Structure formats: C-alpha cells, structure tokens
Structure 1
Amino acid sequence: MFKVEDIRKDFPILSRKVNGKPLVYFDNAATSQTPKQVIDAIVDYYSNYNANIHRGVHTLSQEATDLYEQARHKIQTHFNAKFSHEIIFTSGTTHSINLVANGFSSLLKKGDEIIVSALEHHSNIVPWQMLCERTGAILKVIPMNQQGELEIADYDKLLSKNTKLVFVNHVSNALGTINPIQYIIEKAHHVGAAVLIDGAQSCPHIKTDVQALDVDFYVTSAHKICGPTGVGMLYGKEEWLKKLPPYQGGGEMIAEVTFEKTTYADLPHKFEAGTPNICGGIAFGVAIDYMNAIGFETIATYENELLEYATNELLKIDGLKIYGTAKNKTSVISFNLAGIHPYDVGSILDKLGIAVRTGHHCAQPIMDYYKIPGTVRASFSFYNTKSEIDTLVNGVKKAKMMLS
C-alpha cells in the first residue's frame, strides 16, 4: 500500500521551511529530491571506500570498484540493456548527447540529414546544430501542434534515404508530453537511421526497456530520478559504441600508450576517460533500487492522480491557461495567468514557500511557437500531496490578486 506520508519521511529536505513557510517543492522536472537512503550511500562511500577504481590492487580500490560496477549492473538491469558494457557513465544527459554527437562527426557527410523534434530541450538541439556545422549535414524538425504533441504525419514525410540520425525526447520537459517513441524508432530504422532518445524527463515516471524499444542510444541523468547531480548514463547498442571513436583521451580509456601510437580500451572504458564520479555512480544505483522498491506502476498511478487534480483545480482560476494538453503526458503543468509575466508569479509563489520553475525551460522554440516569453511550470513527484497542490492553487490566486 502506497502511503505518501511514509514516503515523505525519506526526504529530509521536505521538512524544511522557505521564507517561513513549509516547503512545497514543485520543481521536480528540473531536479528531483534525494532520499536519505541515497544520502546515506554518499556518506558511506566517503567514510569507508573513498579510493580510485579499476587501477589499484589495495583493498579500498577493489571495494570501490566492486560497488561502482555493481551500480552499472543495476542500471543495466533497470533499463534491460543486453550487456553491462553498453552502459556508459557520464556526467549527465547533456554529456551523453554530446558524446554521441561528437562520435558521429566522423560518420556523417555533407547532405546527410538529421531529424529532431520541436519539443526538444536545448541540450538535444544545440549539439546537433554544431554537428551539422562540422559535417555539412542538414537539420530537420518534426513540428508540433497546439496541444503540444508532435505532428507524426509530418515526421513520416521528413524521413528519407538521406536520414542518418533521429533524436527525440521521450517526455517534453516543458509540457510533459509523452512522445510515441516506439513508432519513431521503428520508422527511422526502416530507412536505416540510428535513433537517440533523451530519457531525462521520462526516467522518474516510466520504466524503459531499451531492448523492447530497439533504440540505438538512450540517455538520462541521475538527479532526475532521486540520485545525485553530476552523474548520468549513456546506453548504446554494442555495435554502435564500437563504431564511435572515443570522446575524450586520458587515463582509463586506453589499452596501450606509446609516443608512436595509442590503442583504446574495450567498452565501457573506451568512453570513460579519467577519474569518474565514483560516489555518484554508486549513489545512482542506490536511487534506482529506491525507485524500484516503490514500483513504477505505483508511482505512475499516484502521479496521474496528482496531475488530474492539479489540472482541474488550476483551471478553475479565471484567466489561467495551461500549455501542453496532450492526451498522453506526465505530471507536469505549464501555465500562465493572462497579462502577468510568469517570473512575477514565480517570485510571489517563492515568498509563500512554493518552488516552481519559470521561463522557457531550456525549450525556447516551444515558447516561440506559442508566442509567449515562458511559463510557470509546476512538476509533481510521488512524494508530493494534494494538500500541497491546494497550497499552490491558493498561491496562484494570491499572485493574480496582487499583480492584476
């Protein structure tokens, strides 16, 4: 039985006050909060195991290596990758995307085509623009509609024999839209294109099976899924990871080094140059364990209740408009009050202890499409409550009264 009050006890930060008010944390799409189980794992690492990995014969190094590789195996199991060496530890989603983009610099030529969607985070736009500048490839965009959904019929028309890469987020960070990635992947493969799915926003809500999807690359960040900042993962099919050149040179990613020639290590070390975020990787594995202990079906059911409740209550406020009304979405609501800048609303909510995100959410093309400067974004997690949503609704009403 899911009891939110018991879950909330795992998160120390939820008991603090902001501006004299109990914290209401609705910025989960930016960073989820961290349970004490993960915090304890971080303290335990630095208290008992702090040593460099893979290279030492001493006990601390061996123990730290075992913990780090166990975490890799946990992530492999969670995402159902075929091999543990298909899981590359990175500093996060942005690092993972740039690693792949850099690798394709040597595989693309002028006239090749890359497809992204209109719903992308800047991290899944800018690296591909840079790749096109380096290679002469052409960037094409799947358009969106007023509901915040992709125009899939237009995607079908964009695909051609020249399409080499398709990059789409699983879930829009700005609107919460869940994209039809299974269809997108299958259609791309029909023309021989590789597919990267940005899973940063989906991983807290959806348990993804990369083999069932048959996706070529899948990326995410630990801090979206109750883990620490500064660590994430790139899943890549073994065949693709072997084709891509190393992203960085240095220790750990080499087999043999001479001044005449260097040979590279096998996967996954080929892409893990230098000393990694060892503690972060271990804590990432603990966060995965924590989320799975609660259960992703349980999480999805509860978060959908929060989304429905918040949507109904917010829409009772005159002049409030929600952007992103896709039939299939996660627990994110982007909204504005008529005639009031979102930053001003967010500032008043902060005074009331309510943490929301305001602005374009690193998704400026979406805001340009709606012809707005940005939105107020409230994003919910399984440790939030309906009473907190009531606090948000009352806060928005107060902001409207003060700013109108």
Structure 2
Amino acid sequence: MKFKSCLVFSIFLVIAIVKAEVFDITKFGAKPDAEISKALSDAWAAACSAQQPSQLLIPKGRFCLNVAEFKGPCKAPIEVKIDGTVVAPEDPIVIPKGAQWITFSYVSGLKITGSGTVDGVGGAMSWPTDDPINTIEKGSPLQYNLCFNFVKDSSITGITSKDSKNYHVNLMTCTNVIFDNFHVSAPQASPNTVGIHIGWSKNITVKNSVIETGDDCVSTGDGCESIHIEGVKCGPGRGISVGGLGRNKGEKPVVGVFVKNCTFTGTENGAWIKTWPHSHRGDASDIHFEDLVMDKVENPIIIEQDYCPHIECKKNSPSEVKVHNVFIKNVKGTSTSPEVVKLRCSTSNDGCENVQISDINLTYDGNKGPAVQECHNVKPVYTGQILPPGCAPDAIN
C-alpha cells in the first residue's frame, strides 16, 4: 500500500511539472477592442519556443486582428484557446495581398479549443452580388477565416467561425486533423463561404458539428484520402461534396470519402459528387454516403459530371474524371424537386462505374408530379427498399 501511495504521488508530481505554461495575449500588450497582431505574434513566438506543452490564451473579450500567421515547427505541442471574439477588418484590402486572415503552418500537435469566435466580418465589402465567383477568381482579395497548411496530428474543437469573406476553413496538405463540435455561421446568401474545404490531405475527420453557410458545408478536393464526415448538421448551404474535380491538370485521385449520419436542412444539395465537363483526367473512388436525412433539399442525391457553376464551359465535351465505387445507403427525407436522385454521368468511358444505391426513401415536397430518379450514362445497382423506383435499364440514356 505504501508503494502504491508513492506511485500515485509521483504521477501527480510529474503532471504538475509538465503542466502547460499559459501565454495570455493580454500579458503581451493585447487590449480589448484594439488591434492585436503584434501581441498575438509575440505570444505565439514564446509558446512555440517553449520546451514543454503550452497554451496560448485569447481570453473573453472582443479583439481586432488584421492578420496572423502561426508558423512552426514548434518545440512542443501547443493549445490555442480562444474564449473571446477575434474580429477581422471589414475591408479585405487591409489584409496584405496574398495573405489569409489567420493561418497555421507546419505545426504538429496543435489543439485549438475554447468557446470563442473568429469573425471574418463578411458583408457588403466582400460579398459582391454581381457574379461573385468570377470577381473572386479575377483577383479580389477575399480571405479565408482559418487556413491550415502542413498541419499534422491536430484538433479544432468548440470554436465558431463566423461570416468569413471567403472559405471559412481551408486545409492543404494536412494529416490526422479532427474538427469536433465546430460551428460555422454565415447567411445563406453569402457567396463562396465554403464551411470546410479539404485538399491534398489524409485522415481528416469532421464530426458532431453544425455548418450554416452559403456554399458547400464540407467539400473534398483532389489529392485527398480517408476523409470522414459524421454527425454534421448542414444547412443552409449547398451540401457535402466531393469535387469539383478535373478543372486543373495534374490533379491527384480522391480515395475514401465517408459521409455518415448527417442531416441536411434546406440545402441546395445533399450527397454531391461534381466534376467539370471538358476536364483534365482524374479519379474519385471509394465514396460512401450513408444514413443521411434530407429535409426539403433541392437535390438530395446528385452526381453531376457536367458541373459548371459560374463560367462558360464546353459542355459538349465530356468530363474525363472517372467516378467509381460509389455507395449510397439509407437516405431518407424530402426533396423540393421531383428528381430526388440525379445521376448525370459523363459520356466518356471514364464516367461513372459501380454506383450502388440501397435503402432510400425520398419524397417530393411539391406539386409538379411524382418523385423520380434521373439517370444518364450510368447503370446503378439497386438493393433493398428503393423509393422512388430506380431508373429502368431502358430509360437510362
């Protein structure tokens, strides 16, 4: 018994010794309602150079931030705790050209926690109503709220991303990152405000989160492997998507996307795969949409290989992206269009292959006729209960 007591005391002693040092930004000169770029940078430098695990604290209060880059590698794991509200400049031009608003790069063992908010202050100055996507692509300096580059073994929990000027979150070349109890908040009419976009990344999880935005709730781009999206409430927004793929030369394959136990409320799309017509070659496989609930969704299930949202496309030229091994299972709810399942696959030999649909029950909430499935250039395999009935082989064109 004495030995056990000594052991317990030793464990508590070790825990006390390695307890994270706290770097509170107010100790580095940050003040409420003032700009905190320098204080935040100094606090990060101190935390990143600490030999033991540390915490960078943004306490309760409202803080203004022009731009911040948290760059590693660091000597020990860091927790960034956001309990306050961090506010971006309203005018996107204030942020230096080519920079994002808040960026984490080359960091491992990062934890972002707290109950606070990063507010991108999107609005009239950053959400143009006249052809907004073209405006962005022609060089309008609209920034992401949170950008993660080369981040590994990390998690983001509890915080809210509000009114981003562009994407709320962009992950590029990240590995083993988890979003849990993460909240995205933006109006339905906010253009290009994708909730979480994932590109060139592996083993990414988004779970138990609420995403309310004006674009895709979660989108998976090329070069991704083992993406897990579970327990997400999407809406308003444009759905949970794979793609659009094939627009750029040299895109890497997408392998393994698992969307499960998600709900879609008033969204444009639900389960969504999209590739560009007249595309470069690409590949997307092992895609699973399972246990989904649709509530007045315009396109509950859609494969769209003629995706062309905002610029002129050569739609007469087929997509060269191969979409194969797609599994759609246990999807139920209501649609605001009669075509509750739309499988618009490419005429190319690299179009859709092995699309399996099982146990769906989707009804049309409208007065334009019965619910139907629409199939082009694909022969889906149906099993289980299928309502409405699947496309008849002689109706597939």
Larger Rg: 2
Task: Give the shorter-chain TM-score range.
Answer: under 0.3
TM-score (norm 2): 0.24
Structure number having the greater strand percentage: 2
Higher RCO by CA contacts (8 Å cutoff, separation 6 or greater)? 1
